[in-house]
């Protein structure tokens, strides 16, 4: 637990997700990086540690009130390997909240196999950069609602210009020389129904999300944006939602037991953010 | 997150495959509840069913066209013989008189009302968990569910104008829309109960129970 006390929390009016009158809640999404069918965690995709069985972890988070689970198969992109889908199937048999799976989605058939195995949404990153029409094909076949464009952003440094971010892939190892804002806008036009936006600079640091990036992106597109990379405490989650995120994705704060999902949602609700009531 | 595998023991349910979307997770939810679920494209199987589920995702027109003809007749035959029907998401929208998506398309007319686009000014499609309001909480469909329960929605259109007698619950996104409707033995939810955690499973279970009780009392 953090050292915050209830008294130190500012009282604010109830916030709801972007736009007028709606009962839509913010979403809190644990992210599970999966390698060879096991949950792993490393800083900036390096020094991986085994954190257990994906289905078991997902079920535990769902019981705590997670609003969705995102799985990223982190081995799929670098090694060009297909995802073994048994763990997706086992998860979908026991977890009845939305499941998103990314990693290795290069063509329609990859997405179809994930959806058949039990994913509700598929996330694509590198393949969409290399062949942007993939987004349109996915949207036309399965609907935009199950197409998540995952974008890894790296802040361009050492410039007097206003902040800008470059699209990177392969865990940040490969620069794409594409402007993040332009790519996201194009991705939405092509069919992406949701953006999973990861700051590679912040990922794994637990120093907070890149809020400037979040504000810029959420001002630019109307589809939901999931903030990812850098969550270390409750303030970070609240800040990202204030910056326009529809959902906050976090890994280590949940995996390492800093907070349970239930604690996070309870505290965010106390701060006035609309949250789904978790079930006891 | 739910009582495992005993909630609806052996309850038989026929799921209509209207040729759109991925029905695996609905089938998994029914299996989790212990129901004996059959996915079918066969109008004869549908006509003989006592308990039907009509799912759907995406746009209104493709499943509407797929149902036209024999399958639509089969659904009406089953209902005339006393079957219960639950529509989910686009399958729910199909139950109404008509939808404004793509100009205007007629629905199955099993529930009174019009499906219309949600107003601009909120994020569309609505993707996420929203709360039911104005819940007809004495209705058996809501047995065991608390007031203000959240369910998982993915949609841009929804029934906005429905006679009060058929409204079972509403939700708000830009405007107030009808999130659950029902008349006689025909029910529907705009949200995905199969993706709405324990609340959603409970609602499916309640529907199966209603159909099963009616069937056993025959």
Residues of chain A with C-beta less than 8 angstroms from the C-beta of B1: 59, 62-63, 95-96, 279
Which of A33, A67, A73, A110 is the catalytic position? Answer: A33
The pLDDT assigned to A163 comes to: 87
Interface test with B, best of A16, A17, A18, A24 (most B CBs within 10 A): A24
Q: What is the pLDDT of residue B211?
A: 95
Band (A82; pLDDT cuts 50, 70, 90): low
- The nearest CA of chain B is from the CA of A109 a distance in Å of 14
pLDDT at A80: 45
Pair of tokens at residue A188: 């939405």
pLDDT at residue number B7: 75
How many Å apart are CA B96 and CA B107, to the nearest integer? 5
Sign of the alpha-carbon torsion through A197, A200, A202, A205 = positive
Q: Which helix (H) or strand (E) segment is A39 a member of?
A: strand A38-43
**Is A25 in contact with B150 (Cβ distance < 8 A)?**
yes
Catalytic annotation, pick one of A73, A152, A210, A239: A152
> What interhelical angle do A234-242 and A211-220 show, nearest 10?
30
- Give the pLDDT confidence score for residue A14 in this predicted structure: 44
Q: How far is B90 from chain A (nearest CA, A)?
A: 12
List the beta bridge partners of residue A26: A275
Please check whether residue B39 touches A, CB under 8 A.
no
Predicted local distance difference test score (pLDDT) of residue B37:
97
Partner-chain contact A143 B126, CB within 8 Å: no
Interval A84-101 mean pLDDT: 94
Q: Are B123 and A18 in contact (CB < 8 Å)?
A: yes
With CA atoms as reference, report the closest residue to A197 among A164, A150, A236, A253: A150
Q: What's the confidence (pLDDT) of residue A280? A: 42
For the stretch A215-271, pLDDT in tens is 999 999 989 999 999 999 999 999 999 999 999 999 888 988 889 999 999 999 999
B12-216 adopts what CATH topology?
Rossmann fold (3.40.50)
Residue range A103-152, pLDDT digits in tens: 889 999 999 999 999 999 999 999 999 999 999 999 988 888 899 999 99
Q: Which residues of A touch B (CB under 8 A)?
A: 17-25, 27, 59, 62-63, 67, 92-98, 115-118, 120, 142-145, 193-194, 222-224, 246-247, 276-277, 279
Assess whether pLDDT exceeds 60 at residue A15.
Answer: no
pLDDT digits (tens, 9 = 90+) for A157-213: 766 678 899 999 987 889 999 999 999 999 999 999 999 999 999 988 899 999 999
Known catalytic residues of B are 89, 192, 194
CA distance A23 to chain B (A): 5
B189 and A CB contact within 8 Å: no
The predicted structure's pLDDT at residue A10: 38
Cβ contact A203:A252 at 8 Å: no
pTM for the model stands at 0.90
ipTM score of the complex? 0.91
Distance in Å, alpha carbon of B129 to nearest chain A alpha carbon: 6
Name the stretches of chain B with pLDDT < 70: 1-6, 218
CA B96, chain centre distance (Å): 11
Q: Confidence band (pLDDT; 50, 70, 90) for A46?
A: low
Which residues of chain A make contact with B148, given a CB cutoff of 8 A? 277
Calculated CA dihedral for residues B66, B71, B73, B74, nearest 10 degrees: -160
pLDDT for A28 beyond 50: yes
Q: In the prediction, which pLDDT does A170 show? A: 84
Query: Tell me: the pLDDT tens digits for A16-26?
Result: 544 458 999 99
Among the partner residues A21, A63, A276, nearest to B129 by beta-carbon distance: A276
Query: What pLDDT was estimated at residue A279?
Result: 58
Q: How confident is the model at residue A45 (pLDDT cuts 50, 70, 90)?
A: low
Query: Which of A18, A23, A248 to probe the B interface (max B CBs under 10 A)?
Result: A23
Is the separation of the CB atoms in A278 and A64 below 8 Å? yes
Task: For residue A201, indicate whether it is catalytic.
Answer: no
């Amino acid at each position: 637990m953090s050292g915050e006390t209830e008294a130190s929390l500012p009282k604010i009016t109830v916030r709801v997700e972007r736009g007028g009158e709606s009962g839509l809640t913010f979403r809190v999404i644990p992210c599970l990086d999966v390698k060879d069918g096991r949950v792993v965690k490393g800083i900036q995709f390096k020094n991986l540690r085994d954190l257990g069985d994906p289905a078991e972890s997902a079920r535990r988070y769902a019981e705590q009130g997670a609003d969705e689970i995102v799985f990223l198969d982190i081995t799929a992109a670098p090694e060009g390997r297909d995802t073994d889908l048994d763990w997706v199937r086992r998860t979908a048999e026991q977890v009845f909240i939305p499941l998103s799976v990314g990693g290795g989605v290069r063509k329609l058939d990859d997405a179809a196999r994930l959806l058949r195995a039990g994913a509700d949404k598929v996330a694509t990153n590198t393949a969409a950069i290399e062949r942007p029409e993939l987004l349109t094909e996915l949207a036309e076949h399965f609907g935009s609602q199950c197409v998540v464009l995952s974008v890894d952003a790296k802040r361009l440094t050492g410039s007097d210009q206003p902040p800008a971010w470059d699209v990177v892939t392969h865990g940040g190892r490969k620069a794409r020389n594409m402007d993040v804002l332009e790519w996201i806008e194009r991705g939405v036009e092509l069919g992406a129904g949701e953006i999973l936006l990861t700051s590679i600079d912040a990922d794994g640091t637990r120093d907070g999300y890149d809020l400037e990036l979040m504000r810029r992106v959420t001002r630019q597109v109307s589809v939901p944006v999931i903030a990812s990379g850098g969550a270390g405490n409750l303030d970070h989650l609240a800040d990202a939602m204030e910056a326009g995120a529809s959902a906050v994705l976090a890994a280590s704060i949940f995996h390492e037991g800093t907070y349970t999902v239930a604690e996070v949602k309870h505290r965010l609700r106390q701060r006035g953010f609309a949250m789904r009531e978790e079930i006891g | 997150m739910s009582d495992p595998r005993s909630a609806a023991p052996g309850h038989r349910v026929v799921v209509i495959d209207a040729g759109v979307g991925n029905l695996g997770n609905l089938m998994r939810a029914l299996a989790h509840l212990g129901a004996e679920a059959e996915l079918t494209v066969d109008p004869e199987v549908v006509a003989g069913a006592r308990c039907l589920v009509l799912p759907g995702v995406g746009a209104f027109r493709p499943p509407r066209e797929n149902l036209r003809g024999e399958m639509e007749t089969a659904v009406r035959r089953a209902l005339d013989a006393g079957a219960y029907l639950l529509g989910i998401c686009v399958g729910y929208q199909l139950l109404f008189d008509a939808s404004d998506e793509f100009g205007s398309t007629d629905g199955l007319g099993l529930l009174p009302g019009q499906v219309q686009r949600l107003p601009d000014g909120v994020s569309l499609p609505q993707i996420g968990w929203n709360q039911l309001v104005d819940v007809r909480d004495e209705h058996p469909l809501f047995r065991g569910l608390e007031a203000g329960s959240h369910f998982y929605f993915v949609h841009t259109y929804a029934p906005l104008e429905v006679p009060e007698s058929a409204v079972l619950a509403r939700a708000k996104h830009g405007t107030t829309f009808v999130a659950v409707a029902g008349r006689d033995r025909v029910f529907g939810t705009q949200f995905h109960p199969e993706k709405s955690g324990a609340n959603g499973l409970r609602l499916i279970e309640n529907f199966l129970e209603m159909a099963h009780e009616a069937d056993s009392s025959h």
